Amino acid sequence: MQTVPQITPDPQSTATVEMDPGKPDLNPAAAPPPKAGGVGLWIRDLLISAAASVLIITFLYQPVRVEGTSMLPRLEDRDRLFINKFVYHIAAIERGDVVVFHYPRDPEKSYIKRVIALPGDRLRIDHGQVWLNGKPQVEYYVPEEFRDSRSMAEMVVPEDCYFMMGDHRSISSDSREFGPVERSLIYGKAVFVYWPTRDAGVVR
């Protein structure tokens, strides 16, 4: 799979030259013929575009496919989306981010879940209601029909770990079962669904 980067015009290939109106060209025949090189410029631009695509896919974005329904209603089974693999090298993981990480019990597998609590947060769940640092959370991304009534005793999220939950709470296998996820296992942020078109859009 490949992304198509935006390409800004190359100044060398789009430069214009203004003639001096005070000094008209009195001998057009003496003007040198235009240099050939249009094909060379086109090939150069094509190679630059291909290299940029490879760099973007390798270092910035990666296409992935969702398997399962634990992130309904936003992400459906077999949705295809781009994850940003670079963003967490320059920005902090925040509550509400939808992230991709290696499953703690089997690093060969990858899970996609939502960050609910950060390192040091006090978290408890009371009959499905998430309480964070003593305050009930309003979770707009969890429709009423996807909620459950599970409870969990209060805990403090360990240093350098994150508590993950799926949006479809009644069927999600998440940190309520396998515990907080270490920072080193998180490798991307879900940013955009591109297929199927009915689901296309930014992941929030």
Catalytic residue among 13, 85, 110, 113: 113
Active-site residue 13, yes or no? no
E strands within 25-177?
A: 61-65, 80-84, 98-103, 106-117, 122-126, 129-132, 135-136, 152-156, 161-165
Return the C-alpha torsion angle 147, 153, 155, 161, nearest 10: -40
Closest CA to 130 of 172, 104, 97, 163: 163
Active-site residue 70, yes or no? yes
Inter-residue contact 79 to 66 (CB < 8 Å): yes
Could you give the CA distance from residue 20 to residue 158 in angstroms, rounded to a whole number?
71
Catalytic residue among 13, 70, 85, 170: 70
Tokens of 143: 């429709």
Could you give the CA distance from residue 81 to residue 54 in angstroms, rounded to a whole number?
17
DSSP 8-state class, residue 199: G
Could you give the CA distance from residue 116 to residue 139 in angstroms, rounded to a whole number?
10
Q: Which residues are tagged catalytic?
A: 70, 113
